[in-house]
Amino acid sequence: MRRSVIVVLLVLSACGSGQLAGQDLPDLPPITGEELAITLAESGRPAVVNIWASWCNPCRSEAPLLTAAHDAYGDQIDFIGVDVQDNQADAKNFISEFGLDFTHYFDRDRSVPEFYGGFGTPITFFFDGTGTLVDTHLGVIDERALALGIDEIVDR
Protein backbone atom coordinates (compact mmCIF):
# COMPACT_ATOMS: atom_id res chain seq x y z
CA MET A 1 0.00 0.00 0.00
CA ARG A 2 2.72 2.44 1.05
CA ARG A 3 4.67 1.58 -2.09
CA SER A 4 1.61 2.32 -4.24
CA VAL A 5 1.20 5.72 -2.62
CA ILE A 6 4.86 6.57 -3.29
CA VAL A 7 4.49 5.53 -6.94
CA VAL A 8 1.38 7.70 -7.34
CA LEU A 9 3.15 10.69 -5.75
CA LEU A 10 6.14 10.26 -8.06
CA VAL A 11 3.88 10.09 -11.11
CA LEU A 12 2.02 13.23 -10.02
CA SER A 13 5.31 15.02 -9.34
CA ALA A 14 6.38 14.26 -12.87
CA CYS A 15 3.20 15.77 -14.31
CA GLY A 16 3.15 19.36 -15.57
CA SER A 17 5.58 22.16 -14.88
CA GLY A 18 8.10 21.06 -17.43
CA GLN A 19 11.32 23.07 -17.18
CA LEU A 20 12.44 25.55 -19.16
CA ALA A 21 13.85 26.34 -22.56
CA GLY A 22 12.85 29.98 -22.61
CA GLN A 23 16.31 31.52 -22.92
CA ASP A 24 16.37 30.75 -26.64
CA LEU A 25 13.48 33.18 -27.16
CA PRO A 26 14.22 36.82 -28.13
CA ASP A 27 13.64 39.52 -25.51
CA LEU A 28 10.08 40.74 -25.30
CA PRO A 29 9.73 44.18 -26.95
CA PRO A 30 8.70 46.99 -24.57
CA ILE A 31 5.33 48.70 -25.01
CA THR A 32 3.25 51.44 -23.42
CA GLY A 33 -0.53 51.78 -23.23
CA GLU A 34 -0.56 54.45 -25.96
CA GLU A 35 1.56 52.31 -28.28
CA LEU A 36 -0.67 49.27 -27.74
CA ALA A 37 -3.77 51.36 -28.53
CA ILE A 38 -2.24 52.37 -31.86
CA THR A 39 -1.23 48.77 -32.63
CA LEU A 40 -4.75 47.49 -31.93
CA ALA A 41 -6.44 50.20 -34.00
CA GLU A 42 -4.13 49.60 -36.97
CA SER A 43 -4.47 45.81 -36.95
CA GLY A 44 -8.19 45.86 -37.84
CA ARG A 45 -8.75 42.56 -36.00
CA PRO A 46 -10.48 41.87 -32.70
CA ALA A 47 -7.99 41.14 -29.92
CA VAL A 48 -7.69 39.53 -26.50
CA VAL A 49 -5.02 41.21 -24.42
CA ASN A 50 -3.91 39.31 -21.33
CA ILE A 51 -1.91 41.05 -18.60
CA TRP A 52 0.33 38.52 -16.86
CA ALA A 53 3.56 38.06 -14.94
CA SER A 54 5.78 35.06 -14.25
CA TRP A 55 5.55 35.61 -10.47
CA CYS A 56 1.73 35.60 -10.58
CA ASN A 57 0.32 32.23 -9.46
CA PRO A 58 -3.19 32.85 -10.86
CA CYS A 59 -1.56 33.61 -14.25
CA ARG A 60 -0.09 30.10 -14.26
CA SER A 61 -3.56 28.74 -13.66
CA GLU A 62 -5.14 30.48 -16.64
CA ALA A 63 -2.18 30.08 -19.04
CA PRO A 64 -3.26 26.63 -20.37
CA LEU A 65 -6.72 28.02 -21.14
CA LEU A 66 -5.22 30.91 -23.11
CA THR A 67 -3.14 28.44 -25.09
CA ALA A 68 -6.29 26.43 -25.91
CA ALA A 69 -8.18 29.61 -26.86
CA HIS A 70 -5.35 30.72 -29.13
CA ASP A 71 -5.35 27.31 -30.83
CA ALA A 72 -9.12 27.52 -31.36
CA TYR A 73 -9.56 31.20 -32.32
CA GLY A 74 -6.12 32.39 -33.38
CA ASP A 75 -7.19 32.62 -37.02
CA GLN A 76 -10.08 35.02 -36.18
CA ILE A 77 -8.66 37.23 -33.45
CA ASP A 78 -5.28 38.38 -32.17
CA PHE A 79 -4.00 37.20 -28.80
CA ILE A 80 -1.53 39.54 -27.14
CA GLY A 81 0.25 39.01 -23.83
CA VAL A 82 1.60 41.90 -21.80
CA ASP A 83 4.12 40.91 -19.14
CA VAL A 84 4.15 43.41 -16.27
CA GLN A 85 6.55 44.16 -13.40
CA ASP A 86 8.79 41.27 -14.40
CA ASN A 87 12.23 40.47 -15.79
CA GLN A 88 13.00 39.17 -19.26
CA ALA A 89 14.49 35.82 -18.17
CA ASP A 90 11.54 34.75 -16.01
CA ALA A 91 9.08 36.02 -18.61
CA LYS A 92 10.66 33.94 -21.39
CA ASN A 93 10.72 30.84 -19.19
CA PHE A 94 7.02 31.33 -18.45
CA ILE A 95 6.17 31.65 -22.16
CA SER A 96 8.16 28.55 -22.95
CA GLU A 97 6.75 26.51 -20.07
CA PHE A 98 3.14 27.07 -21.14
CA GLY A 99 3.68 27.20 -24.89
CA LEU A 100 2.09 30.67 -25.13
CA ASP A 101 2.68 30.88 -28.85
CA PHE A 102 1.44 34.41 -29.54
CA THR A 103 2.78 37.96 -29.39
CA HIS A 104 4.02 39.20 -26.02
CA TYR A 105 5.22 42.60 -24.88
CA PHE A 106 7.19 43.76 -21.87
CA ASP A 107 5.70 46.45 -19.63
CA ARG A 108 7.78 46.85 -16.49
CA ASP A 109 5.84 49.94 -15.32
CA ARG A 110 2.27 48.61 -15.82
CA SER A 111 1.64 51.31 -18.40
CA VAL A 112 -0.88 49.16 -20.32
CA PRO A 113 -3.23 48.20 -17.45
CA GLU A 114 -3.08 51.77 -16.12
CA PHE A 115 -3.94 53.15 -19.56
CA TYR A 116 -7.03 50.90 -19.81
CA GLY A 117 -8.06 51.21 -16.17
CA GLY A 118 -7.41 47.72 -14.80
CA PHE A 119 -5.78 46.84 -11.48
CA GLY A 120 -4.16 43.66 -10.18
CA THR A 121 -2.78 40.74 -12.19
CA PRO A 122 -3.98 38.92 -14.25
CA ILE A 123 -6.37 41.03 -16.32
CA THR A 124 -7.95 40.17 -19.66
CA PHE A 125 -9.09 42.95 -22.03
CA PHE A 126 -11.33 42.31 -25.04
CA PHE A 127 -11.09 44.70 -28.02
CA ASP A 128 -13.17 44.86 -31.19
CA GLY A 129 -11.69 45.31 -34.67
CA THR A 130 -11.44 49.09 -34.30
CA GLY A 131 -9.34 48.82 -31.16
CA THR A 132 -12.23 49.83 -28.90
CA LEU A 133 -12.22 48.23 -25.46
CA VAL A 134 -15.36 46.06 -25.19
CA ASP A 135 -14.91 44.26 -21.87
CA THR A 136 -12.45 43.92 -18.99
CA HIS A 137 -12.09 40.83 -16.83
CA LEU A 138 -10.16 41.31 -13.59
CA GLY A 139 -8.55 38.27 -11.98
CA VAL A 140 -8.32 34.68 -13.22
CA ILE A 141 -10.56 34.09 -16.20
CA ASP A 142 -12.47 30.82 -16.56
CA GLU A 143 -13.41 29.03 -19.76
CA ARG A 144 -17.00 30.35 -19.95
CA ALA A 145 -16.00 33.98 -19.37
CA LEU A 146 -13.20 33.78 -21.93
CA ALA A 147 -15.48 32.11 -24.49
CA LEU A 148 -18.16 34.76 -23.89
CA GLY A 149 -15.68 37.62 -24.26
CA ILE A 150 -14.33 36.15 -27.48
CA ASP A 151 -17.84 35.59 -28.85
CA GLU A 152 -18.69 39.24 -28.14
CA ILE A 153 -15.74 40.65 -30.08
CA VAL A 154 -15.92 38.16 -32.94
CA ASP A 155 -19.60 38.99 -33.57
CA ARG A 156 -19.10 42.78 -33.68
Contacts with other proteins, residue ranges (CB under 8 A): 9, 12-13, 15-18, 57-58, 60-62, 64-65, 68-69, 72-73, 98, 134-135, 138-148, 150-152, 155
Least separation in angstroms between residue 26's CB and other proteins is 24
Question: At its nearest, how many Å lie between other proteins and the CB of residue 37?
Answer: 19
The one-letter code for the residue type at 107 is D
Least distance between other proteins and beta carbon 90 (Å):
15
Quote the least distance from Cβ 18 to other proteins, whole Å. Answer: 7
Q: Are 108 and 128 in contact (CB under 8 A)?
A: no
Q: Which of 73, 105 has the CB closer to other proteins?
A: 73
- Interatomic CA distance for residues 139 and 31, integer angstroms: 22
Return the number of the residue (41 or 68) whose C-beta is nearest other proteins. Answer: 68
Q: At what angle do helices 143-154 and 57-73 cross, to 10 degrees?
A: 40
For 17, 19, 147, the CA distances from 8, given in Å and listed in that order, are 17, 21, 34
Q: Looking at beta carbons only, is 61 or 87 nearer to other proteins? A: 61
Cα-to-chain-centroid distance, residue 71: 13
